Every structure is written in C-alpha cells, then in structure tokens.
Amino acid sequence: TGRATAATPAMALIGAASGPLVGGVLAQNLGYEALGMAAVAVSLCSATCFTMARYSASAAQPLRAV
C-alpha cells in the first residue's frame, strides 16, 4: 500500500540517525561486546516478527467476490 511504501524510507532514515548514537552509548558504557549482543537481539526480534507475519498471512482468508 501507499503507507508501507512511504514508511520504508522513514524507517531507514530513523535507523541511520539513531544507529551511531545507540552504538556509541553501548560501546562506551558496556564495551564492544554489547554491539554484538544487540545485533543478535535485533536479529532474533526480526526473525520472530517475520515468522509471526508469515503464519498470520497464511491463516488469513482471501475475500471472495459475490
């Protein structure tokens, strides 16, 4: 849809703006190992969301014309 198309650049720009700040705070306060742990946490969250979306999309029934 149009909203999804419009939201994609916004999400990319927010990530590009906040990534260095969050990475710097993690590295300075918790060490560089925290960057790897944060990457694993984001990856697991992403995989979970995609898996849930796939199952909910397969359970949805398409609309039928009358």
User: What HEC string does 19-61 produce?
Assistant: HHHHHHHHHHHHCCHHHHHHHHHHHHHHHHHHHHHHHHHHHCC
For residue range 9-45, list pLDDT tens digits in order. 988 999 999 999 999 999 999 999 999 999 999 999 9
pLDDT of residue 53: 84
pTM of the model: 0.66
pLDDT of residue 66: 60
What does the pLDDT read at residue 3? Answer: 78
